[in-house]
Amino acid sequence: MRLFVAVNFSASVRKALAGVVSELSGVGLPVRWTPEANFHLTLRWLGSHDPPVADIVADILRESAADAEPFEAGFGAVGAFPSPRRPRVIWIAVEAGPRLRLLRDQLERRFAGEGFGRDDRSFRPHVTLGRARRGARPGEFRPFVALAADLGIERSVPVTSIDLMRSHTEPAGARYERLARASLGAALPGEGAAE
């Protein structure tokens, strides 16, 4: 199973993100756009594991969530990795306030304590909007450089839970399944079953 930990968004937030994608896709960029149902903020990619590991990860989520308080996050600029002129991934930033960073740090400490190791890369919270198609040429992204500066979402997002997600690779693209949910500041024994 390919597993990751994420903050998922309400339908209204996903719709707002889809509006940004609609603006970007309208200029004909060579990009595979993220479906509206798949928008999320990844807190930790865990990779492929056998099914019993999901129970361990769900426990880590509950412990980390119990120590965290719900908070508000906002969206920032639209950008790209590694650069807007030669993008592989197009994203919208998520403001990395102190509570989001603390939650991420708590998860990292607990994962390291359970033998998963630490993800020492710089935490750059974002929502993936799309990925460049193979063979895309840098010149094809000129419209993106101009358009990205004017795009964004002016709203805050309540973060009240974190989810253990499974990624299914399918011919049409990735499909995500929630395996467990932990509410921030309110984790109880037995909480976290998938809905």
Residue type, 62: R
Assign domain 2-183 to its CATH architecture: Alpha-Beta Complex (3.90)
Would you list the DSSP string of 67-115? T---EEEEEEEEEEES-TTS-SEEEEEE---HHHHHHHHHHHHHHHHTT
Local structure of 63: helix, strand or coil = helix
Residue ranges covered by each domain of the chain: 2-183
Among 25-29, 34-38, 113-117, 123-127, whose mean pLDDT is lowest? 113-117
Encode pLDDT of 63-91 as tens digits: 999 999 999 999 999 999 999 989 999 99
Encode pLDDT of 131-165 as tens digits: 999 999 989 999 998 899 889 888 889 999 999 99
Q: CB neighbours of 72 closer than 8 A, spacing ≥ 6?
A: 156, 157, 158, 159
Crossing angle of the two packed helices 52-66 and 98-113, in degrees rounded to 10: 140
The residues annotated with a catalytic role in the active site are 40, 126
The full 3-state SS of 135-169, as one line of letters, equals CCCHHHHHHHHHHHCCCCCCCEEEECEEEEEEEEE
Q: How far apart are CA 66 and CA 15, in angstroms?
A: 29
Please report, rounded to a whole number, the percentage of residues in the chain having pLDDT higher than 70: 95
Q: Which two tokens stand for residue 182?
A: 């932990």
Q: How far apart are CA 69 and CA 189, in angstroms?
A: 18
Q: How far apart are CA 13 and CA 3, in angstroms?
A: 23
Taking the model in full, what pTM does it have?
A: 0.90
